[in-house]
Structure 1
Amino acid sequence: MTSHPTSHAGTALPPWWRTAWFLLLAGGLVMGLALGARHVQGLFMLPIITDRGWTRETFAFAMAVQNLTWGLAQPFTGMVADRFGSARVMLAGLALYAAGLFLMAQAATPAAFVWSAGLCVGVALSGTTFGVVYGALSRMIAPAQRSRALGLAGAMGGIGQFLLVPGAQAMILQAGWRGALLILAVTAAAMLPLALPFQDRAQPAGGAGVGGGGGGVGGAQPPLLGAVREAFRHSGFWLLNLGFLACGFQLAFIANHLPAYLRDKGMQPSEGMAALAVIALANIAGTYWFGVLGGRHSRKYLLAGIYLVRTAAMALFVLLPLSAATLYGFAAVMGFLWLGTVPLTSGIVSQVFGVRYITTLFGFVFFGHQLGSFLGVWLGGVVFEATRSYDLVWMGAMALGVVAAALHWPIDDREIVRAGWPQPQR
């Protein structure tokens, strides 16, 4: 696997820092920490609300604000990364993540918890996860290897998620939930140097496209606002947004409420932790595998299949008697399908619109995902407090999965041909 020259030399770095494999490792580690710390927040729910005397709805609202803030911030952090380079955005994101986790440990009121866990961590996630990392890799990795590279980066991030699940549970047991958050904050700060290799940015109009060809780059490239208008007028762009909303709803609900759901059903906290670990472990294989498949087969049909299989898995999990076998079987299937949607969705965006403004455009698509995440986390808390059950939320998640599959089927994923702009140099 080879890296592709970028348009921004930036700070002098050792040559091996700019190799494709190190870029994948660094991007995977940053995403692993960012997504892993978010993935384990369900383990913190019961300890925090028990200690603070809050309700599940209070915790869920903070997590919902986090997801919505992440989605709202993603297009803007994408624009900054496209204009000034991903390294600066990732550095700021990691610093803000460390600050947000530290403030979560100090939050004594619901408002302070929403500020730290919701707003601070939400903005931080927009600078340390898919939009920025995948956008940078799309520009810095050779086009023929791009889909596989995104799958590999996602798989490496999945390893971080997997390791953080038992790690976070152990930290909560040994140091309490406050101590666990402080350890995670220090870890985020220690990741800052890994952002330095990502000194990429989009070429000026008419210049050589970073990363060369690949879906849309073979045609002419409009400036940023023109690219955004072009995407907003494309029906497939909106279908991706709506389909991704279902993905966010399903994953955020499960990640944040599954441990509490299992406790309500009489299972032990260790089984909730183990289920999240199985999800993270299966996600490693699934994200890589769907990244590879996305380079060989139609991405929109793969996405439709993912949503249908997720729906079937949730239906069986809810309808069958709950046991260790059904729990871990469900976790394995959901984990394999967990983040396989991301390289496929990002791949469709770059396939249709090109990679020059991939970080910005994917940011807008990702907002749909995070709007779904907001609803999944928040409604999970609201519905439980009103009915003392999650049944209605499970039903909603299944219905959205069927709708998402239907929305992806008619997407026009052909490369846009632009006749009105000067051709980029090769």
Structure 2
Amino acid sequence: MKSPWLIVLLSASFLVTIGLGIRQSMGLFLTPISLEMDTGREVFSFAIAIQNILWGLSSPFFGAISDRIGCWKVAAMGGGFYLAGLLTMAGFVTPGGMIFGNVLFGLGLGSAGMAVTLGAVSKIVPDDKRTLAIGLVTSLGSFGQFALVPITQLLILGYGWQVAMISLSMVGGTIIAVSYGLKAADDSTTAMVAESSLGKTVIHAFQSRDYILLVAGFFVCGLHLVFITTHLPVFLQDNGIHPSIASWSLSLIGLFNIAGAIFFGWIGGKMPKKIPLALIYLARTIIIFAFVSMPITPASAIIFGAAMGFIWLGTIPLTSGLVVTFFGPRYLATLYGVVFLSHQLGSFIGAWLGGRIYDLTGSYDLMWNINLAAGLGAFLIHLIIREKPIPFPTPKMA
């Protein structure tokens, strides 16, 4: 029996696996690239921040395009961006080269990342399986972090960071071919979306108090994730932890997120999604506080990675599920793309401000405290969301 939605699910999982795996490896390049360019940490941190803001800014744009020309075509374009961006960083070892390479990589994440792949999955998966399916894509995507981060570290230590970067570019290029697996999702829908412009869709969404709260809360998710993935390896090394332990801490985030994303995808179909979503932010706050309050040791680094991993991307099936609850699946690629823009604004702050604060103070203490305060704020924001449909006005026929 043919299951076209299963092909879409597996293809989307592969795209997220590669995209997130490479993206989560970027923090491992912070020290060697900064040393080779003879700059402080702020320069490469800023380049990664640009990557994240471009990812966010381009996600609604590519989501809207995918609703019209097809998810697989947009995702294939993203594979080309991955390839070009990583090769640019490997070949042009200057601040300008790093920034331009990260611009291209950010566009790749926007066109072959969560907004487009989750949009494809939502179009073809049955309603009663949608939240769980998104959780499965997210969890399988986490395998990329678990697999690629330690391999990247081995390549950096054994052959140098440029060989590691070129190797990742080859892996990213495989997305061009695999994207065709999303075609069944495009074949399952009609051209209805053409009647409503992106502008009208977004304006309607921003008339909702609850959508605005969701957008604001997802900012904190980006702040947490990208600060940790960018600066945790060097934070641990500053505290005398071997680079291999730092890479394994990031890898365990990916490993434990496999179970966590499935769990939160499942529980999002059993109870109001805002409750586990709020508790994720509270749990992050508690885990970060415990980690930075105690002596930093190899054991604490490993425990931190495992604990954060279980709640790492559990926000995605719950947040996208709330968007579907509000507006239905039809415009998910566009509307989740807008929510994701907020996430990437937080990512920009997490990547850049972490490096800026370190260069100014010689410590990450202030940035950890900012993450703690933001986590508590996000916990409260999600508690007051009203979880109910917000109908989109039906276009009138002439």
User: Which TM-score band (shorter chain)?
Assistant: over 0.9
Pair 1:189-2:173 in alignment: yes
- Cα separation, partners in 2 of 1:87 and 1:205, compared to 1, 3 Å: closer
Pair 1:146-2:121 in alignment: no
- Cα separation, partners in 2 of 1:222 and 1:297, compared to 1, 3 Å: farther
- Cα separation, partners in 2 of 1:389 and 1:140, compared to 1, 3 Å: same
- Cα separation, partners in 2 of 1:126 and 1:417, compared to 1, 3 Å: closer
Who is 1:215 aligned against?
none
Who is 1:170 aligned against?
154
- Cα separation, partners in 2 of 1:351 and 1:300, compared to 1, 3 Å: same
4+ residue segments displaced more than 6 Å: none
Contact 1:291 1:340 in 2 (8 A): yes
Residue 288 of structure 2, aligned match among 307, 314, 326: 314
Contact 2:326 2:391 in 1 (8 A): no
**Distance of 1:298 and 1:421 partners within structure 2:** 30
- Cα separation, partners in 2 of 1:418 and 1:41, compared to 1, 3 Å: closer
Cα drift, residue 419 of structure 1? 6.8
Cα drift, residue 288 of structure 1? 1.1
Q: Secondary structure at the match of 2:181?
A: coil
Per-residue CA shift, 1:205-253, capped at 9, x if unaligned?
Answer: 499xxxxxxxxxxxxx966443322101001111111100111001100
Q: Identity percentage over the alignment?
A: 39
Q: Secondary structure at the match of 2:50?
A: helix
Q: Structure 2, unaligned stretches of length 5 or more?
A: none
**Distance of 2:196 and 2:308 partners within structure 1:** 39
Select the structure that is richer in helix: 2
Cα drift, residue 174 of structure 1? 2.4
Q: Structure 1, unaligned stretches of length 5 or more?
A: 1-14, 208-220
Who is 2:76 aligned against?
91
Q: Which amino acid aligns with 1:84?
A: I
TM-score by length of structure 1 reads 0.89
Residue 101 of structure 1, aligned match among 86, 92, 109: 86
Pair 1:273-2:247 in alignment: yes
Contact 1:256 1:377 in 2 (8 A): yes
**Distance of 1:223 and 1:393 partners within structure 2:** 40
Who is 2:114 aligned against?
130
Pair 1:43-2:17 in alignment: no
TM-score by length of structure 2 reads 0.95
**Distance of 2:20 and 2:327 partners within structure 1:** 27
**Distance of 2:273 and 2:205 partners within structure 1:** 18
1:255-334 alignment runs, 5 A limit: 255-334=229-308
Who is 2:96 aligned against?
111
Aligned residues: 394
Q: CA RMSD in A?
A: 1.8
- Cα separation, partners in 2 of 1:417 and 1:99, compared to 1, 3 Å: closer
**Distance of 1:230 and 1:204 partners within structure 2:** 20
Who is 1:203 aligned against?
190
